[in-house]
Amino acid sequence: MNPKIITLGEIMMRLTPESNQRFTQAASFGAVYGGAEANVAVSLAEWGFDVSHLTVLPDNDLGKAVIKSLRKSGVKTDLIRTQAGRLGLYFLEVGAMQRASKIIYDRADSAFANLDPDQFDFEEIFKGVDWFHWTGITPAISENAYQLMLKAIKAAYKQGVKISADINYRRNLWQYGRNPLEAMPELMQYSTLMVAGETDLENCAGIAANDFQSACVKTKEKFPKIKYITTTIRNSISATHNQLEGILWDGEILRSKNYDMPGIVDRIGGGDAYIAGLIYGLNYFEPQKALEFAIAASVLKHSIHGDANEITVEEALMLVEDKNVGKLLR
Interactions with a copy of itself, residue window 110-169 (CB under 8 A): none
**Cα–Cα distance, 49 to 75 (Å, whole number):** 9
Rounded distance between C-alpha atoms, residue 34 and residue 73, angstroms: 12
Contact flag: residue 324 with a copy of itself (CB under 8 A): yes
Closest CB to a copy of itself among residues 29, 157: 29
Considering only the stretches 99-107, 184-192, 208-216, 249-257, report the one whose residues sit in contact with a copy of itself under the rule CB under 8 A: 99-107
Residues 216-235 that bind a copy of itself (CB under 8 A): none
The answer to whether the CB of 207 falls within 8 A of the CB of 216 is: no
Contact with a copy of itself (CB under 8 A): which of 114, 236, 283, 288?
236
Cα angle 91, 6, 192 (rounded to 5 degrees) comes to: 100
Q: By CB under 8 A, name the one of 172, 179, 182, 224 that touches a copy of itself.
A: 172
CA 330 from centre of chain: 33
The answer to whether 105 and 76 have CB atoms below 8 angstroms apart is no
Residue 118: other Cβ atoms inside 10 A: 10
The minimum distance between CB 73 and a copy of itself, in angstroms, equals 7
Residues composing the chain:
330
DSSP line for 229-241: EEEEEEEEEETTE
Q: Is 209 in the site for a copy of itself (CB under 8 A)?
A: no
Using rule CB under 8 A, residue 264 touches a copy of itself: yes
Question: How many Å apart are CA 88 and CA 38, to the nearest integer?
Answer: 14
Is position 59 an interface residue for a copy of itself (rule: CB under 8 A)? no
Nearer to a copy of itself, 78 or 252 (CB): 78
Decide if residue 175 touches a copy of itself (CB under 8 A): no
| Interaction of residue 1 with a copy of itself, rule CB under 8 A | no
Position among 209, 233, 304, 313 found at the interface with a copy of itself (CB under 8 A): 304
**Residue nearer to a copy of itself on the CB measure, 61 or 252:** 61
317 binds a copy of itself (CB under 8 A): no
Nearer to a copy of itself, 25 or 199 (CB): 25
Between the alpha carbon of residue 252 and those of residues 60, 109, 292, the distances in Å are 49, 42, 16
Instruction: Give the integer Cα–Cα distance in Å for 18 and 8.
Output: 30
> Between 267 and 296, how does the x/- string for binding to a copy of itself read (CB under 8 A)?
x-----------------------------
Q: How far apart are CA 111 and CA 122, in angstroms?
A: 20
Q: Of 68, 127, 158, 225, which one interacts with a copy of itself (CB under 8 A)? A: 68
- With CB under 8 A as the contact rule, the residue among 104, 181, 208, 253 that binds a copy of itself is 104
Site for a copy of itself, residues 3 to 22, rule: CB under 8 A: 15, 18-22
CA-to-CA distance for 165 and 15, rounded, in angstroms?
A: 27
109 is a contact residue toward a copy of itself (CB under 8 A): yes
Least spacing, CB of residue 161 vs a copy of itself, in Å:
25
In angstroms, the CA 136 to CA 140 distance is: 7
Q: Note whether 78 binds a copy of itself by CB under 8 A.
A: no
Q: Are 144 and 113 in contact (CB under 8 A)?
A: yes
Between 224 and 263, CB nearer to a copy of itself: 263
Closest CA to 145 of 183, 171, 115: 115
d(CA 182, CA 203): 10
For a copy of itself, give the closer residue by CB, 99 or 225.
99
